Amino acid sequence: MKLRVINGPNLNMTGRREPSVYGSETLDDINNQLRDFAQGQGITLDFFQSNSEGALIDAVHDVLLKGFDGCVINAGAYTHYSFALRDAIAATGKPFVEVHLSNIHAREEFRHTSVIAPVCIGQIAGLGKLGYQLAVEALAAYDNKGPLEK
């Protein structure tokens, strides 16, 4: 199984940016641990990060065009308002799991809305880096059992 992991704007600053909210580990630290976890499950991960909406949309399209089985996405602040990203996810027809390091529902009002949630199979928020691991597990379970027996 081959999954893509997409991180959006400002997530390249994880570890340096508001550590009380996002933790003190860097995105590379988180990705390396996630890669090791996935390898143990026989899952190959491909990592992508960008601060640009267009580059993220292209990376989402590639989930379909390059034959990935699904995708873990932390779209950062684009989560809250990018209809273009939402449409891109829908266009792939592939399972996406939305992840947030912080609990977006316990923060400012504008973070309570996710415009991508309706086109994802699920959302994990507030569990820090563990959220990425749980998302990989969810996609593996989804792939094994199919959408009707999740």
Structure tokens at 95: 């399972």
- Look up residue 110 and give its amino acid: F
User: Contact letters (x/-) for ligand DQA, 92-121, by CB under 6 A?
Assistant: --------xxx-x------x----------
Nearer to ligand DQA, 102 or 133 (CB): 102
* Cα(149)–Cα(117) distance, integer angstroms: 20
User: Can residue 86 be called a binding residue for ligand DQA (CB under 6 A)?
Assistant: no
To ligand DQA, the closest distance from the beta carbon of 22 in angstroms equals 6
Nearer to ligand DQA, 94 or 100 (CB): 100
Residue 123 in tokens? 């959302």
- Indicate which residues carry an active-site annotation: 22, 100
Contact letters for ligand DQA, residues 18-57 (x by CB under 6 A): ----------------------------------------
For residue 141, the tally of other CB atoms under 10 A from its CB is 11
Contact 90, 113 (CB under 8 A): no
* Between 65 and 77, CB nearer to ligand DQA: 77
**Which residue lies nearer to ligand DQA by CB, 24 or 144?**
24
Q: How far apart are CA 14 and CA 107, in angstroms?
A: 18
2-7 and 96-100 as β-strands: parallel, antiparallel, unpaired? Answer: unpaired
Min CB(21)–ligand DQA separation in Å = 7
* Shortest spacing between CB 10 and ligand DQA, in angstroms: 5
- Residue whose token pair is 């340096």: 16
- Reading phi first (left if > 0) and then psi (alpha if -120 to 50, else beta), residue 67 is in left
The binding site for ligand DQA (CB under 6 A) comprises 10, 74, 76-77, 79, 100-102, 104, 111
